[in-house]
Amino acid sequence: MTENKNEREFIPLNIAVLTVSDSRNEETDKSGKRLVDLLEQQCHMLYEKKIVPDDIYQIRAEVSKWIANEEVQVVLTTGGTGVTGRDGTPEAVSILFDKTIDGFGETFRAISYQQIKTSTIQSRAIAGVANGTYIFSMPGSMGACATAWDELIRLQLDYRTRPCNLVELMPRLREK
């Protein structure tokens, strides 16, 4: 993907961040804080940040609230994408998708392989679009969040990225 940022103006997005964890709180939530820092460095706006336990119904309820809100364009979740008994983020959010963005998880694991080798098979990172809102679900580690943002999400949420990006497909922005 090419970064040709000379022809278009940046469009800031409202982004909600959800940390899924049974053990983290605001003081110990390094991954959620890292995502907030990264999105704000790119001049996007934090709409809201929350922490919920690894419970599919609580995850789904929070994400559902955001995708129903016309002011939220993107939801980033961190945590709950592994293979342990309580990891349920993919099950919680995938049922909400109108469309799945298969390339996100595939590409994330390919990039992660370069960093963590075969441990990447334990990641069930996924993305999709629901009610015009883009949802990216990443592992709970700070490194995984930074990799997903820096290598994939950041460019797709930048209207200036060519040849294409997700911002130009956002129906809520086109309607304004």
Domain ranges, ordered by start, for the chain: 14-168
Per-residue pLDDT in tens (0 to 9) along the chain, 176 residues: 455 555 889 999 999 999 999 999 999 999 999 999 999 999 999 999 999 999 999 999 999 999 999 999 999 999 999 998 899 999 999 999 999 999 999 999 999 999 999 988 999 999 999 999 999 999 999 999 999 999 999 999 999 999 999 999 997 676 65
| SS3 track for the chain | CECCCCCCCCCCCEEEEEEECCCCCCCCCHHHHHHHHHHHHCCCEEEEEEEECCCHHHHHHHHHHHHCCCCCCEEEEECCCCCCCCCCHHHHHHCCCCEECHHHHHHHHHHHHHHHHHHHHHCCCEEEEECCEEEEEECCCHHHHHHHHHHHHHHHCCCCCECCCCHHHCHHHHCC
CATH homologous superfamily, domain 14-168: MoaB/Mog-like domain (3.40.980.10)
pTM comes to 0.94
